[in-house]
Amino acid sequence: MALREIRLEGDEILRKRSREVEVIDDKIKELIKDMDETMHSANGVGLSAVQVGVLKRIIVIDVNYDGTPSIILINPEIVKTKGKEEYQEGCLSFPNKFAKVIRPSEVTVKGLNENGKPITVKGKDLLAEALCHEIDHLDGKLFVDIMEPGTLEYIEKEEEKN
Ligand code: NI
């Protein structure tokens, strides 16, 4: 496993559409492990492959940080949404930047796990937000595109000042 470099705001790759994964080979499995490690090392709740420079439709999510395995989704698709909720949202590609975004309060997503098995993930609140945010990345869409106007804030976290 290895940490990968997170692509930041302004990097053209973040605007590109990621391609479907057709074969889950060792390279893809290694990418997924690296993504998971990179996300945790950056204290993020989600990461898409494009954010580490790979245009493949893969996302990893961990909203719990309780040691349970991350959610891994290959070729994810939102199949159902319910409700609306306002979230204070950030992104590992936009360090210290946050904005208010309105997204569904519940979503159902279908995709494949890292073994190629079809899975369905249902998420509420923060998990719903993370699923929508990461799936948007796969189409080159960023939270700043859909944020509520005038809500972008720069918040430096305490631990980074020390
Ligand atoms: Ni993001």
In the reported structure, the alpha carbon of residue 42 is separated from the centroid of ligand 1 by a whole-number distance in angstroms of 12
Q: What is the CATH number of the domain that holds 100?
A: 3.90.45.10
pTM score: 0.95
Q: What's the total number of domains in the chain?
A: 1
In the reported structure, the alpha carbon of residue 110 is separated from the centroid of ligand 1 by a whole-number distance in angstroms of 20
In the reported structure, the alpha carbon of residue 162 is separated from the centroid of ligand 1 by a whole-number distance in angstroms of 25
Host domain of residue 34: 12-161
Residue 104 lies in a domain: yes
Which residues lie closer than 8 Å to 103 by C-beta, 6 or more apart? 84, 85, 87, 128, 129, 132, 133
- Mean pLDDT for the stretch of residues 1-5: 92
- In this predicted model, what pLDDT tens digit does every residue of 19-49 receive, in sequence order? 999 999 999 999 999 999 999 999 999 999 9
| Position 2 pLDDT exceeds 60 | yes
In the reported structure, the alpha carbon of residue 119 is separated from the centroid of ligand 1 by a whole-number distance in angstroms of 22
Residue 1 lies in a domain: no
Active site positions, annotated:
134
Rg (CA), the chain: 15
Residue 5 lies in a domain: no
| Position 162 pLDDT exceeds 50 | no
Residue 6 lies in a domain: no
Residue 46 lies in a domain: yes
Strand segments, DSSP code E, in the chain are 46-48, 58-61, 71-82, 85-89, 97-103, 106-112, 118-124, 153-154
User: H/E element holding 18?
Assistant: none
Report d(CA 146, CA 84) in Å as an integer: 14
